[in-house]
């Protein structure tokens, strides 16, 4: 059997800690600016046409959550006064303070960001799709930030399936605590592959024809006759439920903004400089 190669690299990440109250903190990691090729090459195993054409994108520095938002972090913010809608204080199917919050709709995630912005006076938001992929890849070009394949020892996905030279493994059938695998990418981010799907700010487009090249969210409305509640939004990263092919850095799926499920969460970003 071909040898599975997983990269082990040590890095120091710059970050700040946002105090959410009741002893709950949110670690925000600095993602340095740079340029990358967004999307997947034609030879990548399992690629989809919606991951093309590959195109050069330039990203400005920003801060991103070290982990997906946890259930403890969700509760600390969900008790704050509403901005546009109410939030369920305990929506998750798989309970645990340090597990990722799940069963979160795009609308819920945006409300969370708005409340956090109001509390901290820093602009929190969902990442653009380009920011998410750039942060996930962390200067790599392989299907996963740790190499050409993926292992159940380093990510939470459906182990009944394999990718490339990978092997089958135990299927956990649930979320795992954030950061529990101890494997960060070169930017210092954890759980970018598997565990829970993560919402992005963008509206869905079938491919990258006409996509922005400045890292901004692609929010023009493809169909002007669509109601806002029916405009599909982006999710990235895969989850504990899906096969490893769907956890690749380039994979993109879409759902309506009001949809939630027990494998859908999110992480937040904010500007690298603020006043």
pLDDT tens-digit profile of 184-213?
999 999 999 999 999 999 999 999 999 999
Share above pLDDT 90 across residues of the chain, in percent, rounded to a whole number: 85
Beta bridge partners of 199: 235
Would you state the structure tokens that stand for residue 141, as one six-digit string?
A: 């070009």
Residue 27 near residue 188 (C-beta atoms within 8 A): no
In our burial notation (b when 16+ CB lie closer than 10 A, e otherwise), range 100-123 reads bbbbbbbbbbbbbbbbbbebbeee
Identify the pLDDT of residue 227: 75
Residue 237 near residue 263 (C-beta atoms within 8 A): no
Q: Which is it for strands 62-65 and 264-265: parallel, antiparallel or unpaired?
A: unpaired
Identify the pLDDT of residue 166: 84
Cα 266 off chain centre by:
6
From the list 112, 135, 121, 114, the residue with the least C-alpha distance to 62 is 135
Q: What is the mean pLDDT of the chain?
A: 92
Omega of the bond leading into 111 within 30 degrees of 0 (cis): no
Beta bridge partners of 243: none
* Distant-in-sequence, close-in-space partners of 252: CB < 8 Å, separation ≥ 6: 50, 51, 129, 234, 235, 236
Domains of the chain are 15-271 (3.90.1580.10)
Write the DSSP string, 57-126. EEE--EEEESSSPBHHHHHHHHTSPPSSS---SS--SS--TTSBP-S--HHHHHHHHHHHHHHHSS-EEP
pLDDT tens-digit profile of 213-269?
999 999 986 565 667 778 999 999 999 999 999 999 999 999 999 999 999 999 999
Each as own residue / partner, the long-range contacts of residues 38-42 (CB below 8 Å, 24 or more positions apart, any chain) are: 38/130, 38/133, 38/134, 38/208, 38/211, 38/250, 39/208, 39/250, 40/143, 40/248, 40/250
pLDDT higher than threshold 50 for residue 104? yes
The number of beta carbons lying within 10 Å of the beta carbon of residue 34 is 14
From the list 259, 131, 136, the residue with the least C-alpha distance to 194 is 136
Identify the pLDDT of residue 34: 98
Length of the chain: 275
Using the Cα atoms of residue 213, residue 253, residue 258 and residue 100 in order, give the sign of their dihedral.
Answer: negative
> What's the N-to-C CA distance of the chain in angstroms?
55
Write the DSSP string, 207-242. S-TT--SSS------S-TTS-GGGS-EEEES--TTS
Identify the pLDDT of residue 4: 37
Return d(Cα 214, Cα 267) in angstroms, integer: 21
pLDDT tens-digit profile of 77-87?
999 999 999 99
């Amino acid at each position: 059997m071909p040898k599975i190669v997983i990269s082990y690299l040590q890095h120091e990440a710059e970050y700040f800690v946002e105090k959410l109250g009741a002893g709950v903190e949110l670690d925000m990691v600095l993602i340095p600016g740079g340029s990358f090729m967004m999307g997947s090459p034609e030879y990548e195993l399992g690629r989809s046409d919606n991951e093309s054409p590959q195109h050069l994108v330039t990203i400005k520095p920003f801060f991103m959550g070290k982990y997906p938002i946890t259930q403890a972090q969700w509760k600390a913010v969900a008790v704050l006064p509403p901005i546009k809608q109410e939030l369920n204080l305990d929506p998750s199917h798989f309970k645990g303070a340090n597990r990722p919050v799940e069963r979160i709709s795009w609308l819920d995630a945006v409300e969370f960001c708005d409340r956090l912005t109001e509390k901290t006076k820093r602009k929190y938001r969902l990442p653009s799709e380009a920011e998410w992929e750039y942060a996930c890849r962390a200067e790599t070009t392989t299907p996963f930030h740790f190499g050409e394949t993926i292992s159940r020892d380093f990510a939470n996905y459906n182990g009944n399936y394999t990718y490339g030279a990978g092997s089958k493994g135990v299927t956990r059938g649930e979320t795992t605590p954030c950061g529990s695998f101890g494997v960060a990418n070169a930017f210092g981010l954890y759980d970018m592959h598997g565990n829970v799907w993560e919402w992005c700010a963008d509206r869905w487009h079938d491919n990258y024809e006409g996509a922005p090249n400045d890292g901004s969210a692609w929010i023009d409305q493809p169909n002007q006759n669509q109601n806002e509640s029916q405009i599909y939004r982006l999710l990235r990263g895969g989850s504990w439920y899906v096969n490893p092919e769907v956890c690749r850095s380039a994979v993109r799926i879409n759902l309506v903004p009001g949809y939630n499920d027990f494998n859908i969460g999110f992480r937040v970003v904010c500007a690298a400089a603020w006043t």
